[in-house]
Structure 1
Amino acid sequence: MVALRSGLDDGQRLAAVASLGDPLRKKLFELVRDSGHALSRDDCAAGLGLPRSTIRAHLDRLVEERLLLVEFRKMGERTGPGSGRPTKLYTAAHSEVSASVPPRHYDLAASLLAAAVQHSIDTGTDIEKSLAQVAYREGQRRGAAAGDIHQLLHSAGYSPEPDGEGGTIMANCPFHRLSQDHTGVVCSLNGSLLSGALEGCGDQRHDLAPDANISHCCARLLPRSGPPR
């Protein structure tokens, strides 16, 4: 399996996965990822038994898709003038890469559930309260980083759409399959996450409300009717 966990939007994740559909690029990515240290173009060519010219184009593509990172470093013991040009080296930007259509983020749900269990064990807090606290804090963190609730909803895969009345519905649930089997737990997690996101964004224009339409997310944004909090 190759999960891009941050820094890329859904389109970029799909492009990265598509890039790894090429068998040679996949082998090259795995070679760099599993090496434990930065590799040069010569290292990659030797590792796969291919010409440097062939390897170069595939390395460039993997860098372009943000699957590999580049650094320049002088190799050997000699330094200073006359020691030669720095060598271009490659390291893996991610250990796993995954994408789905529509977007799903089961890794986030798993991380929050595991953190909630650990919090409950460490503090003796009821597991339901622990999950609400952990998800809310994560929402706050993500909201503060995004700065805008609609930007966050887009990047998190909710596929937000205007409802025609100043509110926003979510055309996609990032936790869809889990929510089918564990509705109460997942919708509670989702509600706390989005509530924290509103707080983290400093959003004073919207409130979170339940959405009974089962074709998409269990929550929606409504324009705030009362005074700002």
Structure 2
Amino acid sequence: MNHRKEAPRPDVSAVAALDEPTRRRLYDHVVRQPGPVSRDEAAETLGLARKTAAFHLDRLADESLLDVVYERRSGRTGPGAGRPAKLYKRSRTEVAVSLPERHYELAGRLLAQALEESEATGEPVRAVLHRKAHELGAQLAAQKGTDVFALLEGNGFEPRYDGDAIVLGNCPFHALARDHTQTVCGMNLHLLQGVLEGLDERCFQACLEPSPGHCCVRLRPASPPPAGTR
């Protein structure tokens, strides 16, 4: 059997970069400062060689943990003012890693959108939530442009075949689904129905079939149309 070797996820790589003690000290120093920090300032404060500080700061920037900006620290402009200094500051990129994979922010956005639209239109919250989840599933399918198994795998559902069906070994909304089962599992069902529709995947249908150790949704082979219909 061939096992596909996947490249590390960017967020995992970013967190791994902070495992190096000197790099972590530099990161902590930069993000605690009120303004951007130069290589010389960081090196002097932490007692490092400038080359060492520069190497680790650039690695943090490569991982999108820090942003790079260029400013003239002398305050002078025009000829003779010198080259702008390379400075580092906290990145706006948010990095989060969870094992198993969770997507609570996605669930939170859907629930907030449903509540706001329901208040504005009078449509029941659950109906709006199901529609928004379905739309998001279709959007994910359009963005990824791949097959359903790969899309589910890429979004943390841990799919695997069980005969002709696909079971999902992980629920990205596990804690929410445990405490608010009907709401979250219904949202998840419509999300995956949207994925199937967006991929024009007619071989499977998403069904609610909760079972221990699995996501509440299972993809079963689609029922064939009744005889005489198209």
Check whether TM > 0.5. Answer: yes
What SS does structure 1 have at the residue aligned with 2:170? coil
The 5 A counterparts of 1:125-144 are 125-144=123-142
TM-score (norm 1): 0.76
2:164 equivalent to 1:159: no
Deviation at 1:34?
6.2
2:119 to 117, 121, 124: 121
Give identity over the alignment, percent: 40
Question: Bigger relative contact order, structure 1 or 2, given CA contacts below 8 A and separation 6+?
Answer: 1
How large is the RMSD of aligned CA atoms in angstroms?
3.2
2:168 equivalent to 1:170: yes
Task: Tell me the amino acid that sits aligned with residue 161 of structure 1.
Answer: R
Task: Tell me the amino acid that sits aligned with residue 117 of structure 2.
Answer: H
Any unmatched runs of 5+ in structure 1? 1-8
Separation in 1, partners of 2:196, 2:40: 50
- The one-character-per-residue Cα deviations of 1:158-178 (angstroms, maximum 9, x if unpaired) are 01112232x311111111111
What SS does structure 2 have at the residue aligned with 1:161? strand
Rg (Cα) greater in structure: 2
Q: Which residue in the other structure is 1:4 paired with?
A: none
- The one-character-per-residue Cα deviations of 1:59-108 (angstroms, maximum 9, x if unpaired) are 2332443434557x5856348xx987775554544443221111111222
How has the CA–CA distance of structure 1 residues 94 and 28 changed in structure 2, closer, same or farther, with 3 Å as cutoff? farther
Separation in 1, partners of 2:86, 2:202: 48
What SS does structure 2 have at the residue aligned with 1:139? helix
Task: Tell me the amino acid that sits aligned with residue 77 of structure 1.
Answer: T
Task: Tell me the amino acid that sits aligned with residue 13 of structure 1.
Answer: D
The 5 A counterparts of 1:92-111 are 92-111=90-109
What SS does structure 2 have at the residue aligned with 1:220? strand
Deviation at 1:186?
0.9
**2:71, 2:87 within 8 Å by CA — same for their partners in 1?**
no
Deviation at 1:127?
1.0
What SS does structure 1 have at the residue aligned with 2:23? helix
Aligned residues: 216
How has the CA–CA distance of structure 1 residues 217 and 54 changed in structure 2, closer, same or farther, with 3 Å as cutoff? same
Separation in 2, partners of 1:203, 1:17: 36
- The one-character-per-residue Cα deviations of 1:104-129 (angstroms, maximum 9, x if unpaired) are 11222122212211111122211111
2:7 equivalent to 1:29: no
Deviation at 1:191?
1.0
Deviation at 1:150?
2.4
Any unmatched runs of 5+ in structure 2? 1-6
What SS does structure 1 have at the residue aligned with 2:211? coil
What SS does structure 1 have at the residue aligned with 2:24? helix
The 5 A counterparts of 1:1-229 are 11-33=9-31, 40-42=38-40, 44-45=42-43, 48=46, 50-69=48-67, 75=72, 77-78=77-78, 88-90=86-88, 92-148=90-146, 149-165=148-164, 167-226=165-224
